[in-house]
Amino acid sequence: PTSRAYSLVDSSQVSTFLISILLIVYGSFRSLNMDFENQDKEKDNSSTAGSFNGNSTNNSIQTIDSTQALFLPIGASVSLLVMFFFFDSVQVVFTICTAVLATIAFAFLLLPMCQYLTRPCSPQNKISFGCCGRFTAAELLSFSLSVMLVLIWVLTGHWLLMDALAMGLCVAMIAFVRLPSLKVSCLLLSGLLIYDVFWVFFSAYIFNSNVMVKVATQPADNPLDVLSRKLHLGPNVGRDVPRLSLPGKLVFPSSTGSHFSMLGIGDIVMPGLLLCFVLRYDNYKKQANSDSCAAPGPGNISGRMQKVSYFHCTLIGYFVGLLTATVASRIHRAAQPALLYLVPFTLLPLLTMAYLKGDLRRMWSEPFHSKSSSSRFLEV
């Protein structure tokens, strides 16, 4: 479940804006670079080049289809209700699973830095660990650092470490999940908008409590504390560890330190998947125009508009939507469903620009299937 943009003030507002935009941009570029790397591997392993699409030969990449897009809000609602009614029963299992996923995601976030650090001093040969697989020195270093950070977070519960883990989850989800077309993007974001609005604005009328806010803000028992009580290790063993606020959100302290602002990672990841899609389409279109020497666009569209990329348009829309959600939360002094503002401000300008440029029909239905290339256009 995702928490909402709430009580953003002073420096916390600036931090939320900058971090969320940086995560989306970085995750989108990591996703595009993964496509390039997979294409290069295909070219090396086969005489026939693979198509430039979101599915890729990497089995770890998940492409969302129309059926999954329609049922994802329903699955998210069921998960939210389970957490609302049975949180005390599943909190330890949920905390452990979240910590494991956060460890893997943060290792993925650290991997480029570790590759840069280990390149001068060690070859990029993989080391075998038997049934566990083969790993490079950079992968082992990034995983070790990630495990260390998670252990420190469990011991201290510090909000900055939780933010670091949430950032890793955001980047990994944006990089490994694909939206294949604009149709699937509209289905997914529209469904999540309805899900967001219902659980923030209307759940209190049914469940006598704001389900979304309660689940997002409820801390979990520390697994070390639970383990010490189960094993009867004594009153002073594992009892001084704090309860954990799970990394399903980004939190930033206000300038006065009196309270924190929050933004759920779903409010970063879901628009981020759309940003990732349009970045890949911008690259695809540049390559297609370069190969065919095609004209820049219809005659009734100005050259200036043709130069504006879909990525720029959608990223600006995301910023304006997040700013609007912030203003709304301050005016109403209550939690706001951020996707209520983010989805229209990202989708509507994108659809309008695609229609004016004549790309709407091609973007609507899986535009990457028929094109093959290894050209890399990364100018943003």
Give the residues across from 250 on adjacent strands.
263
Look up residue 57 and give its DSSP letter. S
Tokens of 43: 């070219």
Q: Among residues 267, 282, 291, 359, which one is catalytic?
A: 267
| Gap between the Cα atoms of 322 and 112, Å rounded | 29
Closest to 262 (Cα-Cα) out of 275, 242, 248: 248
Q: Do the beta carbons of residue 9 and residue 261 sit within 8 Å?
A: yes
Is 267 tagged catalytic?
A: yes
Our CA angle for 178, 170, 278, nearest 5°, is: 40
Is 240 tagged catalytic?
A: no
Q: Among residues 35, 163, 196, 282, which one is catalytic?
A: 196
Tokens of 212: 């979304």
Quick one: how far is CA 90 from the chain centroid? 24
Phi, psi values for residue 205, rounded to 5°: -70, -25
Give the residues across from 336 on adjacent strands.
5
| Gap between the Cα atoms of 69 and 187, Å rounded | 6
Question: Which residues does 331 contact at the CB level (< 8 Å), separation at least 6?
Answer: none
- Give the Cβ contact number of residue 116 at 10 Å: 10
| Gap between the Cα atoms of 296 and 215, Å rounded | 49
Q: Helix crossing, 66-118 with 223-230: angle to 10°?
A: 90
Closest to 350 (Cα-Cα) out of 304, 377, 313, 315: 313
Integer-rounded Cα radius of gyration of the chain? 22
Q: Do the beta carbons of residue 296 and residue 289 sit within 8 Å?
A: yes
- Which residues form the catalytic set? 196, 267
